[in-house]
């Protein structure tokens, strides 16, 4: 075989892996022009792992960036990823105190009011205190097909849905989002900072979506908030250490029922 | 971005969220390049890719390798869902390997900007016809999946996948030539 007939194959790829100067020189020149034989070798599905290390990554990076299309926000997908990561989001609660604090917080949260059908319940309840923080929540459900539907209290929603909350707060507040379901410990889903007015509940720059994947039956989302102020840091520390929410905390609840087969809330 | 990757490696959810929002489109495009995957399977690839990446992120030694590493994981997961037996076998082997990857020192001819220019120039250089239409629709317009392109062009799904893989191999050949040329000096 003459030198000019040489194409990429298992042997030459090993020579290149060993950085043999003659092979490097030859293929640097040979591959600078289209070659169907070499391209077929590069496209084959049974390539050995580690062949031409990094080349696939360099290629895919370039290919996916070629369109230059802006990326839309994907709250549904992110909520599913976060859920599939497993642990409830308690990054702000450290060490072994986390679980204890979450349990105690929820002992305070689970208050009368989750009544039966027909009970009328205000969307915002103050636990106690004299300086009320007005707090309300509404929600929409986003489905994998991209449709968005409003979610009413006691709505039936499919497990594929991701619930996005919108709140109204009368003043700046620190807040916890908690999930309650029968037979399982309450779960702190995240900590949020509320700003006065009506806003989407966000987690940093992202919408704070709650995935219902693997859920069945009743689920209640509870937003618990207390005013920010000079005691803000102390209040958070008290929650972290002892699970005690401030006495002027308010809560807003949204009861849902998760059932498969419902295409829309 | 490097700081965001470091914070995500420490488990900071906000940083993970930023990475997801920055890269989910790219991961989805890798999965959508396989005409054999249904839309729901593409979303599964996106999910599994990020869950795995966030789990193994602390082992990634070089933040600048993140996007390539992520897309490599995505490709392996897409292969794993493939109907093709050989591809599934390769994916199983690849996914079992260490998650880290080598980071070749990039010569100036291989910056991301230059590589993107290579992709665009190669598409422009294709003769007019279904091969060029397929590459242009998928890589330049970047909206349709391989399955959707097959429907639009009236082709079989496997034909579109094969054309995309062939074009990808052409890009690999060009980039490999540049890597080797940089070594020759």
Is B59's Cβ below 8 Å from some Cβ in A? no
Q: How many CB pairs under 8 A join A and B?
A: 201
* A86 or A186, which is more confident: A186
Residues A185 and A251 in one domain: yes
For residue A79, being part of any structural domain is answered with yes
Q: Which of B13, B67, B173 sits opposite A89 (nearest CB)?
A: B13
Residues A149 and A231 in one domain: yes
Q: Which of A87-101, B52-66, B112-126 has the lowest mean pLDDT?
A: A87-101
For residue A195, being part of any structural domain is answered with yes
> pLDDT class for A99, splitting at 50, 70, 90?
very low
B chain contacts of residue A52, beta-carbon cutoff 8 Å: 172, 176
Report the pLDDT averaged over residues B143-162: 89
Task: Report the mean per-residue pLDDT for chain B.
Answer: 85
Q: Provide the pLDDT for residue A24.
A: 93
The CATH fold of domain B2-96:
Rna Polymerase Sigma Factor; Chain: A (1.10.1740)
Q: Provide the pLDDT for residue A94.
A: 27
Which residues make up the CATH 1.10.10.10 domain(s) of chain B?
Answer: 108-184
- Cα B50 to Cα B70: distance, rounded to the nearest angstrom: 8
Q: Provide the pLDDT for residue A82.
A: 82
CATH value at residue A137: 2.60.40.2550
B chain contacts of residue A62, beta-carbon cutoff 8 Å: 112, 115-116, 118-119, 171, 175
Residue of B64, B84, B172 to mutate, testing the A interface (most A Cβ within 10 Å of its Cβ): B172
Residue B120 has pLDDT above 90, yes or no: yes
> pLDDT class for A191, splitting at 50, 70, 90?
confident
For residue A228, being part of any structural domain is answered with yes
Residue B153 has pLDDT above 80, yes or no: yes
Q: Provide the pLDDT for residue A98.
A: 35
Is A63's Cβ below 8 Å from some Cβ in B? yes
Put simply, the chain A residues between 147 and 186 with a CB less than 8 A from any chain B CB are none
Residues A99 and A171 in one domain: yes
Q: Which of A141-145, B73-77, B131-135 has the lowest mean pLDDT?
A: A141-145
> pLDDT class for B167, splitting at 50, 70, 90?
very high
Residues A96 and A56 in one domain: no
Q: Provide the pLDDT for residue A233.
A: 64
Q: Provide the pLDDT for residue B173.
A: 96
Contact A232, A176 (CB under 8 A): no
Last residue of a domain, one of A46, A65, A84: A65
Q: Provide the pLDDT for residue B26.
A: 92
In sign, the C-alpha dihedral spanning B28, B29, B34, B37 is: positive
pLDDT tens digits along B75-103: 888 888 775 555 555 655 565 554 445 55
Residues A57 and A82 in one domain: no
Parallel, antiparallel, or unpaired for β A217-227 and A173-181?
antiparallel
Report the pLDDT averaged over residues A166-190: 82
Range of the domain at A21: 6-65
For residue A70, being part of any structural domain is answered with no
Residues A93 and A33 in one domain: no
Tell me what ipTM this predicted complex has: 0.85
Residue B184 has pLDDT above 90, yes or no: no
Cβ of A200: how many Cβ atoms within 10 Å?
Answer: 14
Q: Which of A46, A69, A73 sits opposite B142 (nearest CB)?
A: A69
Q: Between the CA of residue B59 and those of A33, B55, B62, B63, what are the distances in Å?
A: 38, 9, 9, 10
At residue B106, the 3 state secondary structure works out as coil
**With an 8 Å Cβ cutoff, are A59 and B14 in contact?**
no
The CATH fold of domain B108-184:
Arc Repressor Mutant, subunit A (1.10.10)
Is A213's Cβ below 8 Å from some Cβ in B? no
pLDDT tens digits along B44-66: 899 989 998 998 888 887 888 88
**With an 8 Å Cβ cutoff, are A89 and B86 in contact?**
no
Residues A36 and A80 in one domain: no
B49-53 own/partner pairs: CB under 8 Å, 24+ apart: B49/B73, B49/B74, B49/B77, B50/A81, B50/B20, B50/B24, B51/A81, B51/A84, B51/A85, B52/B77, B52/B99
Last residue of a domain, one of A65, A93, A112: A65
* B86 or A101, which is more confident: B86
Report the pLDDT averaged over residues B124-142: 92
* B1 or B179, which is more confident: B179
Put simply, the chain B residues between 66 and 85 with a CB less than 8 A from any chain A CB are 67-69, 71-72, 74-75, 79, 84
Q: Provide the pLDDT for residue A235.
A: 65
Which residues make up the CATH 1.10.1740.10 domain(s) of chain B?
Answer: 2-96
Share of residues in chain B with pLDDT > 70 (%)? 87
Residue of B16, B17, B158 to mutate, testing the A interface (most A Cβ within 10 Å of its Cβ): B17
A chain contacts of residue B41, beta-carbon cutoff 8 Å: none
Residues A128 and A203 in one domain: yes
Residue A4 has pLDDT above 80, yes or no: no
Q: Which of A177-181, A233-237, A260-264 has the lowest mean pLDDT?
A: A260-264
Which residues are CB-neighbours of B168 under 8 A, at least 6 positions away?
A43, A59, A63, B33
Residues A122 and A30 in one domain: no
Q: Provide the pLDDT for residue A97.
A: 31
Last residue of a domain, one of A19, A46, A65: A65
For residue A263, being part of any structural domain is answered with no
A chain contacts of residue B87, beta-carbon cutoff 8 Å: 45
In sign, the C-alpha dihedral spanning B183, A65, B20, A50 is: negative
Residues A93 and A196 in one domain: yes
Which residues are CB-neighbours of B14 under 8 A, at least 6 positions away?
A203, A204, A205, A206, B7
End-to-end C-alpha distance for chain A, whole angstroms: 69
Is A19's Cβ below 8 Å from some Cβ in B? yes
Q: Provide the pLDDT for residue A251.
A: 85
Which residues are CB-neighbours of B162 under 8 A, at least 6 positions away?
none
Shortest Cα–Cα distance, A186 to chain B (Å): 20
Residue of B4, B173, B175, B184 to mutate, testing the A interface (most A Cβ within 10 Å of its Cβ): B173
Contact B45, B37 (CB under 8 A): yes
B chain contacts of residue A189, beta-carbon cutoff 8 Å: none
Residues A198 and A151 in one domain: yes
* A5 or B44, which is more confident: B44
pLDDT tens digits along A18-73: 889 999 999 999 999 999 999 999 988 767 666 787 888 899 999 999 988 887 88
* A176 or B125, which is more confident: B125
Residues A120 and A239 in one domain: yes
Task: Report the mean per-residue pLDDT for chain A.
Answer: 74
Q: Provide the pLDDT for residue B102.
A: 52
Q: How many domains in chain A?
A: 2
């Amino acid at each position: 075989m003459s030198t000019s007939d040489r194409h990429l194959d298992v042997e030459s790829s090993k020579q290149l892996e060993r950085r043999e100067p003659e092979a490097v020189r030859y293929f640097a020149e040979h591959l600078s022009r289209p070659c169907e034989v070499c391209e077929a070798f590069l496209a084959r599905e049974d390539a050995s792992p580690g062949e031409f290390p990094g080349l696939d990554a360099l290629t895919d990076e370039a290919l996916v960036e070629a369109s230059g299309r802006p990326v839309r926000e994907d709250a549904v997908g992110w909520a599913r990823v976060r859920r599939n990561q497993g642990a409830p989001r308690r990054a702000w609660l450290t060490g072994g105190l986390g679980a204890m604090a979450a349990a105690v917080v929820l002992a305070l949260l689970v208050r009368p009011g989750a009544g039966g059908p027909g009970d009328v319940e205000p969307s915002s309840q103050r636990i106690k205190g004299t300086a009320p923080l007005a707090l309300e929540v509404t929600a929409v459900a986003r489905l994998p097909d991209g449709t968005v539907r409003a979610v009413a209290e006691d709505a039936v929603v499919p497990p594929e849905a991701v619930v996005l909350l919108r709140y109204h707060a009368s003043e700046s507040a620190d807040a916890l989002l908690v999930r309650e379901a029968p037979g399982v410990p309450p779960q702190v889903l995240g900590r949020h900072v509320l700003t006065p007015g009506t806003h989407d509940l966000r987690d940093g720059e992202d919408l704070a979506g709650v995935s219902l994947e693997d859920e069945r039956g009743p689920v209640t989302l509870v937003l618990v908030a207390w005013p920010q102020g000079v005691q803000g840091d102390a209040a958070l520390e008290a929650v972290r250490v002892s699970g005690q929410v401030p006495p002027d905390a308010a809560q807003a609840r949204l009861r849902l029922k998760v059932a498969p087969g419902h295409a829309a809330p | 971005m490097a700081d965001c990757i470091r914070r995500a490696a420490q488990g900071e959810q906000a940083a993970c969220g930023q990475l997801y929002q920055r890269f989910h489109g790219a991961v989805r495009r890798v999965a959508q390049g396989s005409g054999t995957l249904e839309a729901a399977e593409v979303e599964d690839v996106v999910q599994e890719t990020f869950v795995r990446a966030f789990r193994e992120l602390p082992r990634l030694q070089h933040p600048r390798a993140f996007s390539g590493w992520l897309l490599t994981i995505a490709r392996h997961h897409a292969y794993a869902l493939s109907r093709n037996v050989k591809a599934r076998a390769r994916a199983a082997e690849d996914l079992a390997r260490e998650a880290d990857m080598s980071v070749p020192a990039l010569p100036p001819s291989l910056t991301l900007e230059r590589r993107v220019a290579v992709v665009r120039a190669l598409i422009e250089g294709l003769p007019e016809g279904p091969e060029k239409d397929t590459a242009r629709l998928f890589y330049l317009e970047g909206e349709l999946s391989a399955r959707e392109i097959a429907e639009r062009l009236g082709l079989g799904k496997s034909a579109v996948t094969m054309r995309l893989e062939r074009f990808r191999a052409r890009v690999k050949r060009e980039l490999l030539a540049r890597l080797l040329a940089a070594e020759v000096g």
